[in-house]
């Protein structure tokens, strides 16, 4: 990998480490803590451990900065989010950055888009989704790939093609909300948006997603560094069936 732009000063590295620790603390302070969707454990891998497992000494400050920025944006935009697995997201953007001539620049670009998506879809925008689960665990990506499976078979869950499409779709949704669309109407103050045919209150979302993980019905096992994203099944239907089995249909 070319070393272009890879260097950071000791002061900058210290600041990045502080930001990462602060992001971890923000997640730990959530009402249920740093929950994972991994059926074999209760807590998500700390961000510092994920970064250490992936990056060398030159890459680490840049990946740590990316992790801190995305985690902080998630906490701020989705304060009721339940699951906090960043393993595969960071592994994916790290792997793609390593394959480019400029590791820091690629990470900065991807991170900027991702943080923008958090702001676009979260509680700070007219969309006001409650969770980031559908993005991080691949339900949005799998649905998009299945619409054109041949043309999109190489698209990755956190690759630039899908991130940009998600950005464009978010802007379209905001326009629909502005027009008070039937599917995406304007919301009352303080309400969260749920266009799905099942309930998604926290007490609903928690058992639903855990059931999906136990069944292996999650398109991106985001708690694994070596996850193998799967767009080949109709995960929306699987999720709807799981919701019905839990009495969450509406």
For range 198-222, the mean pLDDT: 98
- Mean pLDDT in the chain? 94
Q: Domain count for the chain, please give it.
A: 1
Confidence (pLDDT) at 4: 43
What digits encode the pLDDT tens for the residues 103-162?
Answer: 999 999 999 999 999 999 999 999 999 999 999 999 999 999 999 999 999 999 999 999
- Flag whether 177 is in a domain: yes
Higher pLDDT, 42 or 6: 42
Cβ proximity of 50 and 86 under 8 Å: yes
- Flag whether 250 is in a domain: no
Cβ proximity of 50 and 67 under 8 Å: yes
pLDDT at 3 over 80: no
- Flag whether 209 is in a domain: yes
From CA 152, how far away is CA 227, in angstroms rounded?
19
- Flag whether 79 is in a domain: yes
Confidence (pLDDT) at 13: 55
From CA 29, how far away is CA 27, in angstroms rounded?
5
- Flag whether 5 is in a domain: no
- Flag whether 4 is in a domain: no
Half-sphere exposure of 145 (CA within 13 A, CB side): 26
What digits encode the pLDDT tens for the residues 150-204?
Answer: 999 999 999 999 999 999 999 999 999 999 999 999 999 999 999 999 999 999 9
Domain carrying residue 51: 10-245
- Flag whether 1 is in a domain: no
- Flag whether 150 is in a domain: yes
pLDDT above 90 covers a percentage of the chain that reads 92
């Amino acid at each position: 990998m070319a070393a272009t732009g890879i260097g950071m000063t000791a002061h900058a590295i210290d600041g990045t480490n502080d930001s990462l620790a602060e992001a971890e603390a923000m997640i730990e302070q959530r009402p249920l803590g740093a929950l994972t969707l991994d059926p074999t454990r209760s807590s998500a891998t700390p961000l510092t451990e994920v970064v250490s497992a992936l990056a060398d000494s030159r890459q680490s400050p840049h990946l740590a900065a990316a992790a801190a920025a995305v985690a902080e944006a998630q906490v701020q935009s989705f304060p009721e989010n339940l699951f906090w697995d960043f393993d595969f997201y960071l592994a994916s953007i790290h792997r793609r950055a390593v394959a480019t001539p400029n590791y820091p620049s690629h990470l900065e670009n991807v991170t900027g888009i991702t943080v923008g998506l958090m702001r676009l879809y979260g509680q700070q925008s007219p969309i006001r989704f409650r969770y980031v689960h559908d993005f991080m665990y691949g339900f949005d990506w799998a649905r998009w790939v299945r619409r054109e499976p041949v043309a999109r078979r190489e698209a990755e869950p956190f690759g630039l093609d899908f991130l940009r499409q998600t950005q464009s779709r978010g802007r379209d949704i905001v326009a629909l909300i502005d027009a008070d669309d039937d599917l995406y109407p304007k919301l009352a103050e303080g309400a969260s948006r749920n266009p799905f045919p099942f309930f998604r209150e926290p007490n609903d979302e928690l058992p639903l997603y855990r059931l999906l993980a136990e069944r292996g019905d999650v398109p991106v096992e985001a708690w694994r560094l070596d996850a193998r994203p799967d767009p080949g099944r109709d995960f929306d239907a699987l999720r709807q069936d799981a919701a019905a089995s839990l009495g969450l249909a509406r």
